[in-house]
Structure 1
């Protein structure tokens, strides 16, 4: 996936998440069941996680793959990417 495609994907996913959040607000106003509300919250959590993974993947590609030919990946770049991954999964 190209950087532009990833950006469009993230934006579309975020718009979908906004729609789900609005839907949850409406569900609560309409006194929908806890089961229905929690199901939607679970869908939002999964969507947010996926957005994070897409962003993390693009970050890793940018830092580790998109380097000049012949240039080696520095220890600092690898550590930066690993630190980002660790912070995300905590």
Structure 2
């Protein structure tokens, strides 16, 4: 199974897709009655200060925290490093978004 591998590249792929899945979960919990296009339009254009976007991205990082914890506890350190690296990148994006918008 792919999740049993200990590979930095696998960690970066998981670290990239984790927050995307988190954003999708956020969309279906908070904006259930809206289409995906309407939700993105609101988040990117209608929300002053992009508060909803930064909240969605911050909550999406929790998915990476769960993935990171799972891989650390199973001693898959290379995969955990990849997840951590992408989590740091996403964290910087969220920090810049909150700071400069």
TM-score range, shorter chain: 0.5 to 0.7
> Displacement, 1:21?
0.6
The size of the alignment, in residue pairs, is 56
One of 37, 57, 74 as aligned partner of 1:30 = 74
RMSD: 1.4
Q: Does 1:12 align with 2:39?
A: no
Q: Quick one: higher RCO (CA 8 Å, sep 6+), 1 or 2?
A: 2
TM-score (norm 1): 0.56
CA distance in 1, matches of 2:70, 2:78: 15
Structure whose CA Rg is larger: 1
Structure 2 distance, partners of 1:21, 1:38, is 12
How far residue 22 of structure 1 moved from its aligned partner, in angstroms, is 1.1
Residue by residue over 1:12-67, the C-alpha shift from the partner in whole angstroms, topping out at 9 and shown as x without a partner, is 111111110111111112221x2211110011100110011111222xxxxxxxxx
Distance in 2 between the 1:8 and 1:43 partners? 21
- Unaligned stretches of 5+ in structure 2? 1-44
TM-score normalized with structure 2 length:
0.50
Q: Where in structure 1 do 4 or more consecutive aligned residues deviate above 6 Å? A: none
